[in-house]
């Protein structure tokens, strides 16, 4: 495999092959990423924490392992970023909040970080998040506004907006995101990268959060193969996560190139009859034509999931209320007003209402399982619109504090626990990326990756203009 002139845009497989052949060093690649961070950070603000000396030390250690012919794992020396919601030993995890004490001991890794560290990944940055990952854009009282590499006046989405920008602009080959209602797929769609929310419980997470029952940890990358390689590492077991499920250990690259010929694909141009922007609809329709040309059997399907918005609102806002309840008055005064608005709504729901919402999730999951008896995967737009102005929480109402009314196609699959990915499938009239969502049955993460890869072979994932390696 050939390497690009700008090493920070190489894929993981190419890097590992080059390290083994002694054609390039992890130190050179780390330096390329650090240089790229210095270029991107002032304008786009994707990084919440940088520690170049630790990055260089990890790269030097990786170089020595490759020289000795003893790499630590399949991703040794590959640059990676960590969303600033996940613990990382030696680095603070401030969660985009002024309410978190930066002076505490930071001596433990979350499971995803631990697995990448064990595999020899080189950490280049902690990436930005809205406060405690609570909304669909990426700005916070602590870190400020993160911007979209396709248009810096636009938001990259959230809450894994920093990770998405890092992927798009070459700050990390492997980027850890989290998704509690769309937080991997929203920014993947807005920034034109690949992002996968794995099946619930596939990737262990710890410590538990008030939203653990809908939260997923997953890869955000520039290629589908990199996501598959990353998921195989992230999905290794960790006893700390009570929610994690005993999925079998899988090689997610094994069937990656098998294509979609003969697969039964359901196409839902909307969910719950939500309106979709014309440019988005046109791009998604064009993507559907690709699958037909590749031999899949594509049929229209209606996806009606009654009460999803209400169910999600109850679960999400009561989680925010629980989070705020554990804070002092001074900490609560420091919180983003949108997080406190959600907490205040959640405080108004009683225990029976919450229990009913959790109970009704089972009906949603059963309905989707029924659809998957007819279809191997279901395709939808990732979002009904493209990226809107940075610094706002809502595309239509600048005063709005909610986000789940403009993300109607993402959070339903947090409620059902299904794997769901976003891959870019075109552009709107302003040159902003459009995302296609691929949804599979619970446990079928490899199938979702396979379908995404079939599309990527025909429509390679583009880099934003500012990220072009020349």
Q: What is the DSSP string of 23-48?
A: SS-HHHHHHHHHHHHHHHHHHH--EE
Encode burial over 219-236: b for 16+ CB neighbours within 10 A, e otherwise.
bbbbbbbbbbbbbbbbbe
The residues annotated as belonging to the active site are: 83, 159, 183
The dihedral through the CA atoms of 26, 28, 33, 34 has a sign that is positive
What span, in angstroms and rounded, lies between the C-alpha atoms of 439 and 368?
10
E strand or H helix that includes residue 266: strand 264-267
Instruction: Tell me which residue of 403, 419, 124, 425 sits closest to 291, measured CA to CA.
Output: 425
Token digits for 118? 């064990």
Place of tokens 């929310």: 197
- Residue 80's SS3 state is strand
Q: Could you tell me which residues come within 8 angstroms of residue 387 by beta carbon, excluding any fewer than 6 positions away?
A: 148, 150, 151, 154, 155, 156, 157, 190, 191, 432, 433
Instruction: Tell me which residue of 385, 402, 337 sits closest to 137, measured CA to CA.
Output: 402
What span, in angstroms and rounded, lies between the C-alpha atoms of 427 and 167?
18
Cis ω for the linkage preceding 158 (within 30 of 0): no
The total number of residues written for the chain in this structure: 470
Give the count of beta carbons closer than 10 Å to the beta carbon of residue 356. Answer: 15
- Residue 176's SS3 state is strand
Q: What are phi and psi of 264, to 5 degrees?
A: -95, 115
E strand or H helix that includes residue 440: none
Q: Residue 367 carries which DSSP code? A: H
């Amino acid at each position: 495999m050939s390497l690009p002139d700008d090493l920070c845009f190489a894929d993981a497989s190419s890097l590992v092959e080059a390290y083994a052949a002694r054609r390039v060093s992890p130190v050179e690649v780390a330096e390329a990423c650090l240089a790229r961070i210095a270029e991107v950070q002032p304008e786009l603000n994707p990084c919440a924490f940088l520690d170049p000396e630790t990055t260089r030390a990890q790269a030097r250690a990786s170089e020595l392992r490759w020289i000795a012919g003893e790499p630590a794992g399949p991703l040794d020396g590959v640059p990676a970023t960590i969303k600033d919601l996940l613990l990382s030993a030696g680095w603070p995890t401030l969660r985009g909040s002024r309410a978190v004490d930066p002076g505490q001991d930071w001596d433990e890794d979350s499971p995803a970080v631990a697995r990448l560290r064990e595999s020899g990944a080189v950490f280049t940055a902690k990436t930005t998040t809205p406060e405690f990952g609570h909304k669909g854009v990426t700005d916070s009282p602590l870190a400020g506004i993160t911007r979209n590499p396709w248009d810096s006046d636009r938001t990259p989405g959230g809450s894994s907006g920093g990770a998405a920008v890092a992927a798009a602009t070459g700050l990390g080959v492997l980027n850890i995101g989290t998704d509690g209602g769309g937080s991997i797929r929203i920014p993947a769609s807005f920034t034109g990268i690949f992002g996968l929310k794995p099946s619930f419980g596939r990737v262990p997470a710890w410590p538990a959060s008030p939203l653990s029952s809908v939260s997923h940890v997953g890869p955000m990358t520039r290629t589908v193969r990199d996501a598959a390689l990353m998921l195989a590492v992230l999905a290794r077991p960790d006893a700390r996560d009570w929610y994690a499920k005993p999925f079998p250990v899988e090689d997610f690259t094994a069937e990656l190139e098998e294509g979609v010929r003969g697969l039964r694909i359901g196409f839902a141009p909307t969910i719950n009859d939500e309106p979709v922007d014309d440019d988005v609809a046109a791009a998604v329709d064009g993507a559907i034509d690709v699958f037909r040309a590749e031999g899949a059997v594509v049929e229209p399907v209606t996806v009606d999931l009654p009460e999803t918005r209400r169910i999600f609102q109850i679960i999400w806002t009561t989680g925010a209320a629980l989070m705020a309840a554990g804070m002092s008055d001074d900490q609560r005064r420091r919180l983003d007003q949108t997080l406190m608005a959600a907490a205040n709504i959640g405080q108004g729901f009683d225990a029976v209402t919450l229990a009913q919402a959790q109970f009704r999730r089972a009906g949603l999951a059963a309905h989707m399982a029924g659809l998957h008896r007819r279809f191997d995967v279901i395709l939808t737009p990732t979002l009904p619109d493209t990226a809107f102005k940075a610094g706002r929480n809502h595309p239509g109402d600048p005063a709005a504090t909610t986000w789940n009314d403009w993300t109607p196609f993402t959070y339903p699959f947090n409620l059902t626990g299904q794997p769901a990915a976003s891959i870019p499938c075109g552009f709107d009239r302003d040159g902003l990326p459009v995302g296609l969502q691929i949804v599979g049955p619970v446990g079928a993460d490899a199938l979702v990756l396979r379908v995404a890869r079939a599309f990527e072979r025909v429509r390679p994932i583009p880099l934003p203009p500012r990220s072009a390696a020349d």
